[in-house]
Structures are given as structure tokens and as C-alpha cells.
Amino acid sequence: MRVLHVISSIDPENGGVTEFVLTLLRHAAPGDSVEVVTLDDPSVPFLKVLPASIHAIGPGRTAFAYTPAFPAWLRENLPRFDGVVLHGLWQYNNLAVFRAISKSKPYVVLPHGMLDPYFKYQSRFKHYRKWLYWVAAEYWILRGAARVVFTTQEEARLARESFWLHRWKEAVIPFGTMPPPPDPEAQVAAFFERTPQLRGRSFLLFLGRIHPKKGCDLLIEAVAEVAHRMPGVDLLMAGPDQMGWAAELQARSAELGVADRIHWTGMIDGDAKWGALRAAEAFVLPSHQENFGIAVAEALACGTPVLLSDKVNIAPEIAADRAGYVEPDTREGVNRLLERWLASTAAERAELAASALVCFERRYDLRGNIQAIHNLFRPAGPS
């Protein structure tokens, strides 16, 4: 089985979707061949350390990512593949594949949360613009897919609320992550080498893009609200700041008197990332919209309890498995997340940690989920 994955960019700073595609690429099942095509500039540094089976066509000329080089690449290379996986929506690469494939071979689409109605209410103008493209192209792309793959039942439900005109054949396949590499002691050591100021300190971990969607401002205000109750606990904000918001958040933390309690590292990866997840008391993600949250699965894989807003689509499963706490994505809700954690006993925290690992093994171990996507191309796959 030869499968082509199509994604606009494979930049690791883009977060969970990129990590998921790279995991699919690195852990293909025996007998499967996986390649990735992107619209990244072939000269970007991050491509030099990624697998050679990533083909970078070059960036598009517009915000729509149009480039004439991509159809030419497809005409030459599509015959080599048994099926195509399209990641994300609203970009030219999907339309190019749709036109090139016609009905010659199957393709599946993973929206990665891009049909969540949250975005409809964030910008009416963008939604109206998307509606025009929806009628002209995206509706037909999804309708023609062998499957539209959602990561949770909640994502599938929400997707049906974005546009009244919709028709697709859906499948729900959880994402997840591979278990962490062995040698946790070396990972923790790598983390503290990167952040020596946290050595000997207890801390909560935010690991993700510094973005308003992630509720970073609510988290900082919550730390200020409960700071008097957590004198020995800090907050680590780890993740790329692509929109330059961190400076404003840091100024706000200074105004609130907690700047010395909040640490900023930028993006961390490799052993340092796994070390942070292992060393943290708990992982916290107060997002206003989160399709899945691969970093949540990574925390669970390390046996680290998670503190989530109810807008993280896997929050119901986390609550059901008692792998962490869930509250609304409001200032009061995020305050309660921290308050509940601070009020928990050592025995309760140990129980949450044990449940976190069980939750990962039961639901989000990618070794059990990774083949399900490629099985959609096989005759014995889901019907």
C-alpha cells in the first residue's frame, strides 16, 4: 500500500497536525510506503532534518497557496500511489488533488478541526468568504472523499454545524501519539539543562502555540488569582510564538505580580519536551477550541494528569477516565481548574497519574490507531 499525505506545511512549529503527519511517516506499517508532499520552500532549514520522503514543491503565490508547480508534480507522481490523504481545508492543494484524481483512486480528508463552528463566530467576514469557496469547491471535495476522518465524535458533531450544506461519508479515528522514548531520567535531565531555573521547583506545564485560541491569557490570570495558594508552584509556558503575543502576555503577568512565577522557553522538542512532560505536576490546556490536542496525549503517555477546558474535544473521555480535571473555558472555569488541582491530595494526584497512563494505553496509543487511516483504502476497511 503506497499512500501520499498532502499538507500545506510540515513546519514543526505548526504543532499537532505536523507532529501527527510525521508520526505517520516514521511509523508506517510493514508493507506500507508513506510519502508527504507540502508547499514548503525546499530551502527551509527544518526540511534538512526531516525524512527524505517529504517532497517540498515550493510556496504558493497567494494566501490560497496557489502554485502551478503542484498540479505538474501530481500529474507525474500520483500514479505511484494507491490513495491520498488530505490534511486540513481551505487551501489550494486539496483542490489540486481533487482535480487531478477525478475518480481514478480514493482519497480521504482529515479536517483537523477546521470545520469547528468556533471559527464561524470568530470572524463573520472570513466565514462568508469560506461559504463562497465551500459552495464552489470544498463541499465537492468532501463529498467525493472515500471518508472524511474526524478524531472524536464531538468533532464530527460540531462539523455538521458549520455549513447547512454538507454531505460526506464520515469515520471517527482517534489520533494520539507513540509512547515516549525510553530513558526518562535522561529526558528529565535534558529538560532541566534547558530550563535550570525550574530545577527543584514544582510547576504546571502549558505546551502549545502561544495563541489566543489556546486561552493563554486566562491561564496567566488564573495563576495570579491563586498565586497566594501555590507558593511553591510555577507555570511553564512552552511553545512557539508565531504571532508575537508572548510579549503582551509577559507584560500582563508583570502587572499582575506573577512574572517571576511564569517561565517562557519558546518551542521545546525531543528529549527536553518529554522531560518537561515527565517533570511537570500536571499539564494544563485551557483552549477555546481544540480539535484533539496531541500534547494532551503525550502528557497522558507520561502518566501526567491533564487540566483541560471543556472545549478540548477529548475532554469528555479524559473526565470519564478520571485522568484529569475539566472546566469551562472561562476565567472562572480556568481558576477552578487550578483550584481543584491545588486542593487535591497526594493520594488523589497519584490516582490521577495512574489513570492518565491507562487512558493513554486504552485510547490514544497511536500504534493501535495509525493503521486505521490507511485501512480506509483497503477492501476490508470500514464500510
With H, G, I as helix, E, B as strand and everything else as coil, classify residue 305. coil
3.10.20.30, 3.40.50.300, 3.10.20.90, 3.40.50.2000: which CATH number matches 184-364? 3.40.50.2000
Closest to 230 measured CA to CA, from 302, 154, 307: 307
What gap in Å lies between CA 200 and CA 172, rounded to an integer?
Answer: 42
DSSP assignments along 34-60, one per residue: EEEEE-S-TT-GGGGGS-TTEEE----
CATH architecture for residues 2-176+366-375: 3-Layer(aba) Sandwich (3.40)
- Please list the helix, strand and coil fractions of the chain in percent, rounded to the nearest 5, in that order: 50, 15, 35
* Through-space distance between the first and last CA atoms of the chain, rounded to whole angstroms: 19
One-letter amino acid for residue 145 of the chain: A
**Which distant-in-sequence residues (6+ apart) come within 8 Å of 223 by Cβ?**
230, 235, 253, 258, 261, 262, 338
pTM, two decimals, is 0.83
Bridge partner residues of 307 (DSSP)? 284, 325
> CB of 282 within 8 A of CB of 341?
yes
With H, G, I as helix, E, B as strand and everything else as coil, classify residue 307. strand
What angle (nearest 5°) sits at the alpha carbon of residue 371, between those of residues 365 and 376?
135
Question: In terms of residues, how long is the chain?
Answer: 383
> CB of 26 within 8 A of CB of 367?
no
Which residues of the chain does CATH 3.40.50.2000 include?
2-176+366-375, 184-364
Closest to 150 measured CA to CA, from 342, 373, 377: 373
Q: What are the pLDDT tens digits along the chain (383 aa)?
A: 899 999 999 998 887 788 888 888 887 777 788 899 999 999 999 998 888 799 999 886 666 677 888 999 999 999 999 999 999 999 888 999 999 997 788 999 999 989 988 777 777 778 888 899 999 999 999 999 999 999 888 899 999 999 888 999 999 988 888 899 999 999 999 999 999 999 999 999 999 999 999 999 999 999 999 887 777 789 999 999 989 999 999 999 999 999 999 999 999 999 999 999 999 999 999 999 998 888 999 999 999 999 999 999 999 999 999 999 999 999 999 999 999 999 999 999 999 999 999 999 999 988 767 777 777 877 644 43
